[in-house]
Chains A and B, each alone.
Chain A
Amino acid sequence: MNPDHSQLILAYLDGTISGEELARLNAVLLESAEARAELRSWAAADVRLRELAADGAYAAPMTPSRPQPGAGKMVSWLDRGLLRGLRLPLVTGLAAGAVLTSVVWAYVLPPAVEPIPVLAELLVDSFETGAAPGNRGVPQEFRIWSGDHAELAPEKAGLVPRTGAWMLRLLRSDWEGENSPLSHVGDQLQVIDLAAHRAEIESGRVVAHAEAWFNQVAPETEEELAGGVTLFAFARDPRPYRGENWKAWYEGHLGLSGQQQERTDLDSATWERVAVNMALPTATRFLVVHIRINRTKPEPTAVPVTFAGSYVDDVKAELLLRPAANVAAENPAQ
């Protein structure tokens, strides 16, 4: 370890290096293989230290005074890949299930000690209306399900809808017109306009909640699947972004909930509930409720997956209004 090199390298990695120092560092690195090896070593240390800090393995009393956007558990590529994968099922598939059961994200709330009062009911759907879900990707209308191939289904092979006579069956991991060859996640989404709740959202007190119930009947297959729910908050209407622009769509979110998911057991008599909460950023104007089914052991597939028997019922989304005193106590500097 060369002290002069270390000083320059650490300043570079810390983002405190000056232009003159950077020129010196460039010259050193261009000439010295030893210096380059040292930079790589410091870079690996930088990554590991950030991981240790994010893991909270060693409790530190000196934490930032206010939560920073993106603070908390480190966002891994798996997590972000999962988000992008809503359009790119190949990535969704690889990310979901096998690794994630409950990914914590920015804006995810700690469990509430007391129930939070309901501000507005946004979505209550047990799929009894006869409105078939869309299969052409991102919904183009508010409050309409659309995404991958899906259908309304009655009782089948002993699996009874949790409520009413109908439930949603997620059929395949691709949507009409999609060309992805490596898909194994079935998605359905709803876009909800929150204009009517703008004032409350701007107060910083609104929490979005969503939940869905999942079940599976596939005695002939040993494939393990998981059902999941995610919420996305947007400042702008996300519906116009389709096709290749879905990537921008999902990168453009203001906030998102945890990627909550639960493995669906093979007992058709039991339904598994998945629920998420998300404190809405004050600029939120649109909410996306995303439900999905995915393999828990992703493997590359040559063709999109056809799910043998994966069902969703009783999807609910609502806005909750946190007491002003609680919010103020959490943000004393504001």
Chain B
Amino acid sequence: MQLLARHEPVIRGYLRSLVSRAADVDELMPDVALVAWRKFSELREPEAFPRWACVIARYEALRFRRDRARDRLVLDEAVIAKLADEGAGETPLRARQMAALEVCVERLPAERRELLLACYATEAAIKDVAAQTGRTVDGLYQLLRRIRVDVQRCVEGTLKQEASS
């Protein structure tokens, strides 16, 4: 099960692309882990584990979506299926992306970095941060968007640099 622990971040990232709320990932991961454990003997090559686990996550996410589709704004099932199929082969890329993101967050000016992470601290953080910084929630989302775009550009640049070196 060290495999599960090692690849947990990218599997979480994969699941996140298939569900509408971050909290859904927390809800689904135990189910993914449980199925992976039960079916572990079916895994032939340890190297194939991330993709294999993503297939399990895909199934769980689609089942979850069917249960919740009436309750909230969720993507169409056909879209989720495409996202899932294409994403299962991207786990190495996502692992590199996540590592680069940490470096890029560290490079942010301290004030922006703290604001960004404060907004991700809890589900209710946005309202608290908006109140504490004297911004409207909409205004904070706009600022947050700009910071995240900067970070993503930094990540893309880092990945390109890695690929070319």
Could you tell me which A residues sit within 8 Å of B by CB distance? 1, 3, 6-7, 10, 12-17, 19, 22, 25-26, 29-30, 33, 36-37, 39-54, 58-65, 68, 70-71, 74-78, 80-81, 84, 88, 90-91, 94-95, 98-99, 182, 298, 300
Across the two chains, which residue of chain B brings its CB closest to A300?
B40
Are B5 and A99 within 8 A (Cβ)?
yes
Bound form: Cα–Cα A36–B119 in Å = 25
Q: Which label, helix, strand, loop or mixed, suits the secondary structure of the B interface?
A: helix
Report A-chain residues with C-beta under 8 Å of the C-beta of B76.
26, 30
Report A-chain residues with C-beta under 8 Å of the C-beta of B115.
60, 62
Could you tell me which B residues sit within 8 Å of A by CB distance? 1-2, 4-5, 8-10, 12-14, 16-17, 20-22, 25-26, 29-30, 32-34, 37-38, 40-41, 73, 75-76, 78-79, 82-83, 86-87, 90, 94, 97-98, 101-102, 105-106, 113-126, 128-129, 131-133, 141, 145, 148-149, 151-153, 155-156
Bound form: Cα–Cα A26–B94 in Å = 23
Are A45 and B33 within 8 A (Cβ)?
no
Report B-chain residues with C-beta under 8 Å of the C-beta of A50.
22, 120
- Say whether, besides A26-B76, A60-B118, A77-B33, A40 and B87 are in contact (CB < 8 Å): yes
**Nearest 10 interchain pairs by C-beta:** A77-B29, A44-B13, A43-B17, A53-B120, A94-B1, A43-B16, A62-B118, A60-B114, A64-B128, A53-B117
- Say whether, besides A40-B17, A44-B10, A62-B114, A33 and B86 are in contact (CB < 8 Å): yes
Are B102 and A48 within 8 A (Cβ)?
yes
Are A16 and B141 within 8 A (Cβ)?
yes
Bound form: Cα–Cα A74–B76 in Å = 29
Report B-chain residues with C-beta under 8 Å of the C-beta of A1.
149, 152-153, 156
Would you give the shortest CB distance from B17 to chain A, in whole angstroms?
A: 4
Are A47 and B12 within 8 A (Cβ)?
yes
- Say whether, besides A1-B149, A44-B94, A91 and B73 are in contact (CB < 8 Å): no
Bound form: Cα–Cα A77–B73 in Å = 25
Are A61 and B9 within 8 A (Cβ)?
no
17 interchain pairs (CB within 8 A)? Answer: A7-B145, A13-B20, A39-B17, A40-B14, A42-B148, A44-B10, A45-B97, A45-B98, A45-B151, A45-B155, A50-B120, A62-B129, A64-B121, A65-B128, A88-B34, A90-B37, A182-B37
Are A65 and B82 within 8 A (Cβ)?
no
Would you give the shortest CB distance from B21 to chain A, in whole angstroms?
A: 6
Are A75 and B26 within 8 A (Cβ)?
yes
Bound form: Cα–Cα A283–B41 in Å = 43
- Say whether, besides A30-B76, A52-B120, A90-B37, A14 and B141 are in contact (CB < 8 Å): yes
Across the two chains, which residue of chain A brings its CB closest to B31?
A77
10 more A-B residue pairs beyond the given contacts A29-B79, A44-B101, with a C-beta to C-beta distance below 8 A? A6-B149, A14-B126, A36-B83, A44-B10, A44-B98, A51-B9, A62-B115, A64-B121, A77-B29, A99-B5
Bound form: Cα–Cα A198–B26 in Å = 31
Report B-chain residues with C-beta under 8 Å of the C-beta of A298.
1
Report B-chain residues with C-beta under 8 Å of the C-beta of A25.
75
Are B121 and A78 within 8 A (Cβ)?
no
Across the two chains, which residue of chain B brings its CB closest to A41?
B97
Bound form: Cα–Cα A60–B106 in Å = 13
Are B152 and A42 within 8 A (Cβ)?
yes
Are A71 and B1 within 8 A (Cβ)?
no
Are B13 and A47 within 8 A (Cβ)?
yes
Are B16 and A68 within 8 A (Cβ)?
no
Please pick, from B32, B98, B122, B156, the residue contacting A68 in the complex, using a CB distance under 8 A: B122
